Amino acid sequence: MLSIIVLLTSFIIAYCLTIPTISLAKKLRLVTDKKIRFHPAHTHEGIIPRGGGLPIYFSILITSFIFLPINKIIFGILLSSGLLIIVGLLDDYYDLSPYLRFITNLLISALVIGFGLGIPYLSNPFGGIIKLDQWQIVINFFGKHSILVVADILAIVWLSWIMNMVNWSKGVDGQLPGFVAITAFFLGILAQRFTAHDISVQSVALLSFIVSGAFLGFLPFNFYPQKIMPGYGGGALAGFLLGILSILSFGKLGTAVLILSIPMIDAFYTILRRLKNKKSPFRADWGHFHHRLLEIGWGRRRIAVFYWLVALILGISSLFLKGNEKLIAFITVAVLLLVFIIIIEKMKKQKLNTTIESRI
């Protein structure tokens, strides 16, 4: 019952705060206008307010203060998330360099890990665990502190990766808040099975439902035709929080990877494609999976719902699958997606050939 109350509270706060955010973004010129600045990955038309991460963050902040005991880890998460939103708002206004954004990703990830978040071990999909806490460095600075070198570096890499990966999958109206809300919801359910940080099982689950509710509250304003965009802050915050939630319940990294299979595989493919074309993997372009679906005639609503349904199906599957079964499921999705991309490429070529023949 408490989980439902928490989710609804977060939903209502995000919904109510998004309305004035739209007006504020317009007044402050936090907008995307193709006539003023071109972005190769954008699919929208007209002038759309940015800064959607702001109401989402304040919803999470307010609901957390109401329902969660604020210990060191929770405080670190809220503080780091706030800094990420500030970077997002600056990017919404100034279009920061992607390299600068990546550096801030690393620094903010390191900051939250400094508050006690880390990955001391991983669940082995074939059984047992993989320990990452063997190499420790002890420092005495305002008390005794231990740095788990491998565990902390892996956590920084994981958070930075999932921030960018999830942020890349916000190109279509309603796409991101829908699958993020679904992913956070299932992580909340699974968090109740096992946790190993200095934070209670209930706190991890409630934080998951808070995140889910906040993105659901933002969704009505982002669904086609969108009235506000998540912006870099909203996209990066989504990945940051999903990465944190997967870490808070050890063994759930695999669950997050499974539910986010399409964004994850799309990100891998995007990086390889850009490197193959001798382009920076940090530079945005037209070529993500949702762009390809647009090219074959899919509407924005259909694409968004497709992402939601896949996340929902994989989320339900994660409740029943074990480690090695999740790995098999992920590989299966990867193969199906690859086949889908090949089919799309053939459809594009056929469409192009038909257009050329009609002109001759």
pLDDT at position 254:
81
- What tokens does 253 get? 């990294």
The model's pTM: 0.91
Please list the ranges in the chain whose pLDDT falls under 70: 37-41, 120-148, 193-198, 250-252, 352-360
Residue 302's alpha-carbon distances to 173, 174, 234, in angstroms, are: 10, 10, 22
The pLDDT, as a whole number, for residue 118 is 78
Please report the pLDDT score of residue 123 as a whole number: 65
Token look-up 């963050």 returns 57
Contacts of residue 43, defined as CB under 8 A and 6 or more positions apart, other chains included, come to 171, 172, 290, 291, 294, 300
DSSP letters along 133-145, please?
-SSEEEEESSSEE
Give the residue from 119, 8, 150, 116 showing the smallest Cα distance to 66: 8
In sequence order, the β-bridge partners of residue 31 are 49
353 known ligand binder = no
Tokens read off for 204 = 């991890």
Domain limits for position 240 = 2-359
Number of folded domains in the chain? 1
Six-digit token string for 149: 């070198």
pLDDT of residue 9: 98
Please check whether residue 284 is in contact with residue 219, taking contact to mean a CB–CB distance below 8 angstroms. Answer: no
